[in-house]
Structure 1
Amino acid sequence: MPDGRGPWRSKENAVPSSEKISPPLTELDINTTTGGFYNGFSVAVAVPAKIIISVIVVWAIFWPLQSGAILTGLNGIILQYFAAWYTWIVAFFIAVCFALALWPAAARLNLGIEGEGPEFTRFSWFSMMFGAGIGVGMLTWAVAEPVSHLGSNPETIMGITTAGGANNVAMAFKWSFLHWGFSAWACYAICGLSLAYFSYRRGLPLTIRSGLTPLFGQRLSGPLGHVVDVVAVVATILGVAQTLGFGVDQLVAGLTRIGIAGLVDAEGTATTMGIVIALAVIMGLSTLSALSGVGKGIKWLSNLNMVLSFILLGFFIAFGATWFGFNAFFVGLWHYVTSLPQMSLNVFRSDGVEGSQAFLLAQWQGWWPVFYWAWWIAFAPFVGLFLARISRGRTVREFVLGALIVPALMCFVWFAWAGGTAIDLELNGGANGVIFDAANGDMIFAMTEFMLAPIADWLAWGMAVLIVVLLLTFLVTSADSAVLIVNTINAAGDEGPKSRPHVVFWGVALAMVVAGLLISGGTTAIQTAMVIGALPFSVVMALMAVALLKAIYNDTRREKAGVPSTHDKIEGATESNLTSGLSTS
């Protein structure tokens, strides 16, 4: 029976009054509309987000030259003044993730109520995590990026290794692993863990603002919270647009390889018709999938693309550069792990002299690491909220290690054997530029054709079809997940089904953003818009990490003091029980 001090506190575990701590905040009132077109949505978030995205679309499509010039200028400013910020904040995210995994008291906390188990099997969990997080980019960059770094990276610029030489192979994979490894997944893990912790453990809305409650409390119910969620929606659309932009280029290349003519021009660049057709297919399928929800369409698509990924990866391991890839994986991983602190913290400073070593190093860092950190941060609200949605019931340690290490290792395997096969065929297999000279999105098709066409043309054609189907499942999974996540944020964290017009609007809006930016300046315009859009959300994410550390520290104190920290136990207490002690999150 309660003794007047709360059902959670007994004489044995009572703490001195100077150390009293109250249960955390478990309610955050966000006004949503009742009835009408925006029924269940926060108009203060949904409408501004739609206006901002609509302005970007109109600006990019109707004033392509002006928008391209302004975006390029803004991108230059950001790379000049915020490269260090992007570099160090991502390093901070990695440190926070490993600290939480190693912190015993924090690691065992459940992302849900006590005793709650996960909804999805580990295979489905990993499949959805990988497919939504990075899967699309793998088909382009697992081949293209090691090839690019073989030709240029900081070691070649400084004269330590030879561009295109065998002594530069390990460096090519070291830098590829940096961009697609722990840094990327730390961004996702911070956002996802924060949302899962505050939504499923504390019962707060499944929306970005909930992750800041330990710092700002109930003030997040008003304009401050609305701004946070609008920034997250805009960053999500631009981050996913970046992924779809690469995917559209590669899908057009694949459709051309399997015999559909008229999608590329004489230079191999996707035509406007090619872009429109590719986007119509992607967004049409993704909208249908989004209408079916996470448990049906998205789950089955994720499982399908994971199976197809294993088939394609198995082909590279068995019939590609098996030993070369094995060596690239372990040697590259060794260089990556031992160099991670230096690579994560070092900022190259330009001396302003075009063509100098310092200038080239700073330029390279802006083209590669800074661009990637902005991409992962812009992608984080989408992937993070999605990871939270599929990770309820898992522990903090299981979430961090599962979201940080397993997908990163999967990326390393892809880069080692897909990229390793491409490099080995060029250096030792007589490809003579067939792969290296192809466009980034076309490299994987050029490589498989070079491998299979001498055996039988139909084998090369069949492999191109498999890659196109795999690419489509990845693209559709990313797009439909993004549509669901954006609507969840707009609906103040409501995970329930949304009315069809809102699902369709964001599906069309996402397609228009990609089309508009591709038409106005190609993938470079999308990259620039994404780097700019990620900057304000990087500040939000930094605050989320600090808030998460504060919340977990206080919850470990609550456990020692016998004070409840999960919403189910707090809701079972009386009002009088909740008013004593120091109010803190």
Structure 2
Amino acid sequence: MAGPTGTDRNEGLETTKEHAVSNDEKISPPLTELNINTTTGGFYNGFSIAVTVPAKIIISVIVVWAIFWPIQSGAILTGLNGFILQNFAAWYTWVVAFFIVVCLALAAWPAAGRLNLGLDDDQPEFTRFSWFSMMFGAGIGVGMLTWAVAEPVTHLGTTPESIMGLTTPGGADNVAMAFKWSFLHWGFSAWACYAVCGLSLAYFSYRRGLPLTIRSGLTPLFGQRLSGPLGHVIDIVAVVATILGVAQTLGFGVDQLVAGLGRIGIGGLADADGAATTTGIVVALLVIMGLSTLSALSGVGKGIKWLSNINMVLSIILLGFLIIFGATWFGFNAMFTGLWHYVVALPQMSVNVFRSDGVEGSEAFLLAQWQGWWPVFYWAWWIAFAPFVGLFLARISRGRTVREFVLGALIVPALMCFVWFSWAGGTAIDLEMNGSANGVIFDAANGDKIFAMTEFMLAPIGDWLAWGMAALIVVLLLTFLVTSADSAVLIVNTINAAGDEGPKSRPHVLFWGVALAMVVAGLLISGGTTAIQTAMVIGALPFSVVMALMAVALLKAIYNDTRREKAGVPSTHDKIEGVTGNDAPAGLSASSN
């Protein structure tokens, strides 16, 4: 709840931290009010200046630094990236494994699973189809169009198994390994990051009436202290991580959009190597951010919902084409073989950390390097993306149970990714391995591989069919990009407005739309997608700590709420009358969250 800080009411009370409760101490209702100062009137009406202004300054500094000092910024970012990959690979690996364990535990926990993400009689706002569509489109859609073909093809050449000599690089015995690692990067681990963040936000906002912002997920650990500087820092970290995480997605999307526009006859936007030129970057971003800003101004229930439904339908059409006319049996075999290897190896892959021996070119060095390029990069990407996707998932999931949310967010989108990778990547691999494609797909740039593959399949039938499929993919790509960008703008403004989901002032929507475009443009111009990847890996690190604390806080809160249910103590904000966690006697409220 935004408003005055209420420091005189809370001063001296031990409500900022929970402590262990003795067996004979009665558990009290939870904290249901978190006071965050917001401005009344003026340009920042309804916003928390302590969050909004520092976040804008940080993002503006990144933009100016990347554009005006590209060589210096590129060198510093590369050095920091190397340091993080060398020293925090294990942290990224293990924290994501922890998120998977938390999700599975909550889904399997009977008392926790039936709790409603809202009041007891709240019903879901969206149908399951729209819910899955928005979840999938915001979470992974853009990257999937790039990497569903490119990643299995790349892994076919190099996997940890091929580095260790267990399989043949580029050989048939490495196909299952290529899909196993692709499934790891885009499967349960990715969606566990989103689910932990989204579940935490939905639980504390809709059950307890706390602001729909990142800091609310830490109230069981820090209580009312989150009303002040500690909470501001957490929300600023979330905003910066969101912008960098979405910038990563848009960076890949810009390259692919330029490649697609070239396929449908709009040339001059890419260089001889297929990379987007500065003109191509500007044109692509103008189109993406122009459409996304218009959609953001219309809100979640209109523009974003309809765009999500459209890209889900187009995705089904494209996927159906690949399943029916692509390598149908090869894709089927790739999915189930890869899925078997993935599920069996998931526990080991989730916790294993390759350690370099420092000898360049050695097996240990190559394994550690590969892990930094792939799993660690992806874990940083999903964590940086989590405040955006998590808050968005929370926004569209009110009224669903904890178990429904976890299983829906963890399994259904992951299965969609498995299907996509199996038939899109499987078709590309089959066409190349049987010799018919003759390098047409393998030699194309990553963003252009899906266009090269569909053109190779359809051109012999008719050029107009190849053009039509390229146009469909371009439209699908645009809807994914616009959905991601406009959702990010709305989410950032929600965090800046202390969790207020209502309409935002147009200048702030426009600012963050422009800022996001400038971050992407600045980093692409200064160092290509590598610069964006580096900035994102760095920005994700502090938020990974926040997310780990959110997971611990969520477990603690749900455990205490199951105790309240047994004791007949209210745990939703509508049932708590007069006695809340922050004005109850100190000895009781310290146990309340």
* TM class by smaller structure: over 0.9
Output one character per residue of 1:370-398: Cα deviation in whole Å (capped at 9) or x when no partner: 00000000000000000000000000000
Whether the aligned pair in 2 keeps the contact of 1:17 and 1:581 (CA below 8 Å) is no
- Structure 1 window deviating more from structure 2 (15-24 vs 431-440): it is 15-24
**Aligned counterpart for 1:527 among listed residues 521, 524, 533:** 533
Question: Could you tell me which amino acid in structure 2 is paired with residue 234 of structure 1?
Answer: V
1:7 aligns to what?
none
Output one character per residue of 1:87-116: Cα deviation in whole Å (capped at 9) or x when no partner: 000000000000000000100000000121
Whether the aligned pair in 1 keeps the contact of 2:220 and 2:556 (CA below 8 Å) is yes
User: Are positions 1:127 and 2:162 aligned together?
Assistant: no
SS of corresponding position for 1:247: helix
Residues 1:432 and 1:576: Cα distance change in structure 2 (over 3 Å): closer
**Aligned counterpart for 1:389 among listed residues 392, 395, 410:** 395
Residues 1:577 and 1:380: Cα distance change in structure 2 (over 3 Å): closer
User: Are positions 1:96 and 2:95 aligned together?
Assistant: no
Question: Could you tell me which amino acid in structure 1 is paired with residue 368 of structure 2?
Answer: A
Q: CA deviation at 1:19?
A: 3.6
User: Are positions 1:410 and 2:420 aligned together?
Assistant: no
Q: CA deviation at 1:428?
A: 1.3
**Aligned counterpart for 1:266 among listed residues 272, 291, 295:** 272
Output one character per residue of 1:20-48: Cα deviation in whole Å (capped at 9) or x when no partner: 10000000000000000000000000000
Mapped to 1, the partners of 2:515 and 2:239 lie a distance apart of: 12
Question: Could you tell me which amino acid in structure 1 is paired with residue 298 of structure 2?
Answer: S
**Aligned counterpart for 2:570 among listed residues 564, 571, 580:** 564
1:398 aligns to what?
404
1:376 aligns to what?
382
Question: Could you tell me which amino acid in structure 2 is paired with residue 188 of structure 1?
Answer: Y
Output one character per residue of 1:473-506: Cα deviation in whole Å (capped at 9) or x when no partner: 0000000000000000000000000010000000
Q: TM-score, normalised by structure 1?
A: 0.96
Whether the aligned pair in 1 keeps the contact of 2:125 and 2:397 (CA below 8 Å) is yes
2:166 aligns to what?
160
Q: CA deviation at 1:553?
A: 0.3
Q: CA deviation at 1:210?
A: 0.1
**Aligned counterpart for 2:89 among listed residues 83, 87, 91:** 83
SS of corresponding position for 1:388: helix
Mapped to 1, the partners of 2:329 and 2:371 lie a distance apart of: 31
Residues 1:431 and 1:191: Cα distance change in structure 2 (over 3 Å): same
SS of corresponding position for 2:76: helix
**Aligned counterpart for 2:451 among listed residues 439, 445, 448:** 445
Mapped to 1, the partners of 2:165 and 2:267 lie a distance apart of: 44
1:551 aligns to what?
557
User: Are positions 1:109 and 2:118 aligned together?
Assistant: no
Output one character per residue of 1:282-304: Cα deviation in whole Å (capped at 9) or x when no partner: 00000000000000000000000
Whether the aligned pair in 1 keeps the contact of 2:97 and 2:350 (CA below 8 Å) is yes
**Aligned counterpart for 1:277 among listed residues 248, 272, 283:** 283
Q: CA deviation at 1:571?
A: 3.4
**Aligned counterpart for 1:241 among listed residues 236, 244, 247:** 247
User: Are positions 1:425 and 2:431 aligned together?
Assistant: yes
Q: CA deviation at 1:18?
A: 1.0
Mapped to 2, the partners of 1:35 and 1:327 lie a distance apart of: 61
Whether the aligned pair in 2 keeps the contact of 1:236 and 1:382 (CA below 8 Å) is yes
SS of corresponding position for 2:513: helix
Whether the aligned pair in 2 keeps the contact of 1:71 and 1:528 (CA below 8 Å) is yes
Mapped to 1, the partners of 2:131 and 2:47 lie a distance apart of: 28
**Aligned counterpart for 1:24 among listed residues 26, 30, 45:** 30
Mapped to 2, the partners of 1:288 and 1:133 lie a distance apart of: 20
1:458 aligns to what?
464
Residues 168-567 of structure 1 correspond to what in structure 2 (within 5 A)?
168-567=174-573
SS of corresponding position for 2:411: helix
Residues 1:16 and 1:190: Cα distance change in structure 2 (over 3 Å): closer
Whether the aligned pair in 2 keeps the contact of 1:487 and 1:502 (CA below 8 Å) is yes
Residues 1:575 and 1:347: Cα distance change in structure 2 (over 3 Å): closer
Whether the aligned pair in 2 keeps the contact of 1:20 and 1:581 (CA below 8 Å) is no
Question: Could you tell me which amino acid in structure 2 is paired with residue 198 of structure 1?
Answer: F
2:58 aligns to what?
52
SS of corresponding position for 2:518: helix
Mapped to 2, the partners of 1:269 and 1:573 lie a distance apart of: 61
Q: CA deviation at 1:577?
A: 10
Mapped to 2, the partners of 1:528 and 1:214 lie a distance apart of: 33
1:4 aligns to what?
none
Q: CA deviation at 1:261?
A: 1.5
Mapped to 2, the partners of 1:508 and 1:566 lie a distance apart of: 39
**Aligned counterpart for 1:34 among listed residues 9, 32, 40:** 40
SS of corresponding position for 1:495: coil
SS of corresponding position for 1:508: helix
Mapped to 1, the partners of 2:567 and 2:234 lie a distance apart of: 33
Residues 1:66 and 1:577: Cα distance change in structure 2 (over 3 Å): closer
Q: CA deviation at 1:575?
A: 11
Mapped to 1, the partners of 2:586 and 2:550 lie a distance apart of: 27
Mapped to 2, the partners of 1:200 and 1:572 lie a distance apart of: 19
Residues 1:564 and 1:249: Cα distance change in structure 2 (over 3 Å): same
Whether the aligned pair in 1 keeps the contact of 2:39 and 2:49 (CA below 8 Å) is yes
Whether the aligned pair in 2 keeps the contact of 1:83 and 1:366 (CA below 8 Å) is yes
Whether the aligned pair in 1 keeps the contact of 2:29 and 2:580 (CA below 8 Å) is no
Residues 1:321 and 1:35: Cα distance change in structure 2 (over 3 Å): same
Q: CA deviation at 1:580?
A: 8.6
Whether the aligned pair in 2 keeps the contact of 1:21 and 1:581 (CA below 8 Å) is no
Residues 1:521 and 1:277: Cα distance change in structure 2 (over 3 Å): same
Mapped to 1, the partners of 2:69 and 2:519 lie a distance apart of: 14
Whether the aligned pair in 1 keeps the contact of 2:112 and 2:402 (CA below 8 Å) is yes
Superposed CA RMSD: 1.4
Whether the aligned pair in 1 keeps the contact of 2:29 and 2:579 (CA below 8 Å) is no
Mapped to 1, the partners of 2:263 and 2:378 lie a distance apart of: 29
Mapped to 2, the partners of 1:180 and 1:131 lie a distance apart of: 14
Q: Unaligned stretches of 5+ in structure 1?
A: 1-14
Output one character per residue of 1:157-189: Cα deviation in whole Å (capped at 9) or x when no partner: 000000111111000000000000000000000
Q: CA deviation at 1:581?
A: 6.4
Q: CA deviation at 1:335?
A: 0.3
Whether the aligned pair in 2 keeps the contact of 1:245 and 1:526 (CA below 8 Å) is yes
Whether the aligned pair in 1 keeps the contact of 2:383 and 2:543 (CA below 8 Å) is yes
Mapped to 2, the partners of 1:211 and 1:190 lie a distance apart of: 10
Mapped to 1, the partners of 2:163 and 2:23 lie a distance apart of: 62
Residues 52-71 of structure 1 correspond to what in structure 2 (within 5 A)?
52-71=58-77
Mapped to 2, the partners of 1:457 and 1:577 lie a distance apart of: 71
Q: CA deviation at 1:266?
A: 1.6
Residues 1:461 and 1:202: Cα distance change in structure 2 (over 3 Å): same
Whether the aligned pair in 2 keeps the contact of 1:250 and 1:441 (CA below 8 Å) is yes
Residues 1:573 and 1:349: Cα distance change in structure 2 (over 3 Å): closer
Q: How many residues align?
A: 571
Q: TM-score, normalised by structure 2?
A: 0.95
Question: Could you tell me which amino acid in structure 1 is paired with residue 256 of structure 2?
Answer: Q
Mapped to 2, the partners of 1:573 and 1:75 lie a distance apart of: 49
1:74 aligns to what?
80
Whether the aligned pair in 1 keeps the contact of 2:391 and 2:491 (CA below 8 Å) is yes
Mapped to 2, the partners of 1:254 and 1:55 lie a distance apart of: 32
